[in-house]
Amino acid sequence: MIDQNPQDIVARLGRIEVHLAEMRDLMASQRAIKEWYTTKEFAVILGKAEFTVREWCRHGRVRASKRPCGRGRSQEWMISREELARIQNEGLLPLRKD
| Region of residue 88 (left: phi > 0; alpha: psi -120 to 50; beta: else) | alpha
The whole domain housing 84 covers 36-90
In a domain, residue 62? The reply is yes
Q: Identify the CATH number of the domain in which residue 40 sits.
A: 1.10.1660
pLDDT tens digits, residue range 67-94? 988 778 889 999 999 999 999 999 999 9
Residue 87 and residue 19: Cα distance in Å, rounded? 35
Lowest-pLDDT choice from 1-5, 13-17, 41-45: 1-5
In a domain, residue 85? The reply is yes
Domain count of the chain?
A: 1
Q: Is the pTM of this model over 0.75?
A: no
pLDDT tens digits, residue range 41-57? 999 889 999 999 999 99
